[in-house]
Amino acid sequence: MQVERLNGLAVDFTERGYRPCFYLELHCSEHGDIRAAVETEPAQQHRCPLCGSTCDSVALGRGLTLRELPNFEVVCALTQYARKQRQRIAKTQ
């Protein structure tokens, strides 16, 4: 992937170890909000990398990463209290 700069020079980031990727965010009812980088364009649903459950996801865009693909990070983990609240609500439905 080449990125044009204002001065007309092109930099090939793949020669520097960067990998093209797609970023997405998903919400897992067990683990909270997770951001991930994947090799292929994401669908509207994606499996949670921690528990494998199918979650709604939102594509955030394309980019480059130095990390191995796929990778992820939990950006907003559910607290123990929130997890128990959700379990309590699910039992009453």
Q: Which residues bind Zn ion (CB under 5 A)?
A: 28, 30-31, 48, 50-51
Shortest distance in whole angstroms from residue 18 CB to Zn ion: 28
State the maximum Cα–Cα separation within the chain, in Å, rounded to a whole number: 62
Query: Nearer to Zn ion by C-beta: 30 or 39?
Result: 30
Query: Nearer to Zn ion by C-beta: 37 or 48?
Result: 48
Query: Nearer to Zn ion by C-beta: 30 or 73?
Result: 30
Shortest distance in whole angstroms from residue 48 CB to Zn ion: 3
Pair 17, 67: CB distance under 8 Å: no
Q: CA nearest 59: which of 87, 35, 30, 33?
A: 35
Give the DSSP letter of residue 89: H
Which amino acid, 43?
Answer: A
Shortest distance in whole angstroms from residue 7 CB to Zn ion: 45
